[in-house]
Amino acid sequence: MKRMLVIALGLFFCVSFFSCGDKQVKDTKDTSGQASSNTGQATGYATIFDNDTALARDRAIDDAKLKLVRQILGETIQGKELMKDFELVESIIEAKSVGLVKRDKIIKQWQEGSEYFVTIEGTVEPTAVEDAIADILKTYGRPKFMVLIGETFEGKSNTPGFTETELIIQEIMGNSGFDFVDAAMTQKLMQNNRTSMTNAMNGKVGDQEQQLLLNDLGAEVLIIGTAETNDQSGAMQQYSANMKSKQAIIRLKAIDVYTGAIIATTSKNAPGAHIDSATASKKAIEGALKLILGSTDSDTRKFKMGPFLDAITGKFIKAAGARQITLLISGLDYNGLTDFRNNVSNRIRGVSSVTAKGQAGTASRVEIIFAGKTNDFADELIAKASNIGLEIKVTESYPNKLVITAKKK
């Protein structure tokens, strides 16, 4: 009996072992089959600059990876849903060299004249692309705001700086992660920098306003406009003699402080009711602003942006793909500056143009069009300095301006 029991137990464990083994092999095959659907090949190319084929090879690989991501996304259902956002942030993704292609290998590489070509094979997971897009949308789609709203509230005119409308805008947007210039600072500027702030209120953002709002305070988007509440309590008398009814009309413009361009406009109105007159006006303003800015979904508890705010973030991200950065350089003569401009154009990812704007001795001014923020450009420039043959130090950094010293190694 004991011998029979031992044999039976042995057979049981063997069956269990091989059953588990079959399941593990099957799972592995399923996983690999799924991964292969996201694998493909793409060919990229780059111009050879200054006989530097290694640099051209790297840039050709980057070009191939970007093409492969676009190709794979276009072939999957999830990817097709991501394509709209991918196209919105493509230039920034390219500039930041996000590692979206996994397990990549070079299939072929060759040179034709002044062009270098590389064919790669790799795997692209839409979830990794989604994470990268989400990170960029969060970084670039959440600019810092300043709000200047002229308000007529309960028949009283309130100058921008600390109006009810401004406070409600900051509350609605602040709860969803947007940042603002402090209201107390705005009030102080209204007193001490009257000319520049008046220009800003009227939508005129020149060099002085840009220096004040962007470089000093970090305000990247300016929201200006008017808000007005009117009494319509007569319509409520048939329901309640004590009920106050107000109507708010709000007109807003959003301005990109980097360029001074208007990126969104809107006009909305909404009613508000309460036994207290001022509270009714606040409710009316809040109702109109929810139509403009958006509100928190009661089911998902997530903030859903309204059309005005959605337009701001979308256009701001697109504009971030071609930001103008003023570069003030000391230490390079004319020939040195020419070499510097050529190197920056060809070696720094995300740079679309480099334009000289003047030089006096070894001090010069250059304008860079770059996909990203100034600190991203500064990081790339420092990282590539040795390849350019320069020692570079950043002495001042602002959202749209960089001051550096440069000398040959």
Could you tell me the pLDDT band of residue 150, with boundaries at 50, 70 and 90? Answer: very high
Least trusted range by pLDDT, from 123-137, 209-223, 358-372:
123-137
**284 and 161 part of one domain:** yes
Show the domain range for 239: 144-319
Q: How confident is the model at residue 20 (pLDDT cuts 50, 70, 90)?
A: very low
Look at residue 237 in the predicted model and tell me its pLDDT.
57
pTM: 0.78
Both 204 and 186 in one domain: the answer is yes
pLDDT of residue 162 exceeding 90, the answer is: no
**Closest by alpha carbon to 248, among 220, 216, 226?**
226
| d(C-alpha 143, C-alpha 223), whole Å | 12
| Residue 25 domain-assigned (yes or no) | no
How remote is the C-alpha of 120 from its chain's centroid?
A: 29
**289 vs 139: which has the higher pLDDT:** 289
pLDDT band at 205 (very low <50, low <70, confident <90, very high): very high
- Spell out the residues 6+ positions from residue 401 whose beta carbon is closer than 8 angstroms to its own: 215, 325, 326, 327, 328, 374
Average pLDDT over residues 206-230: 93
Do 171 and 283 belong together in one domain?
Answer: yes
pLDDT band at residue 243 under the 50/70/90 scheme: confident
Mean pLDDT on 373-380: 92
User: Is residue 49 in a domain?
Assistant: yes
Query: DSSP for 150-209?
Result: EEEETTEEE-TTS-HHHHHHHHHHHTTT-EE--HHHHHHHHHH-HHHHHHHHTT---HHH
Please name which of 291, 271, 360, 365 lies closest in space to residue 327, comparing C-alpha atoms. Answer: 365
Q: Are residues 162 and 195 in the same domain?
A: yes
**SS3 at position 348:** coil
Q: What is the pLDDT of residue 17?
A: 41
- Of 269, 296, 319, which residue sits at a domain end? 319
The yes-or-no verdict on residue 9 having pLDDT over 80 is: no
Of the two residues 107 and 177, the one the predictor is more confident about is: 107
Strands of 34-155, DSSP E = 39-47, 101-112, 115-124, 144-153
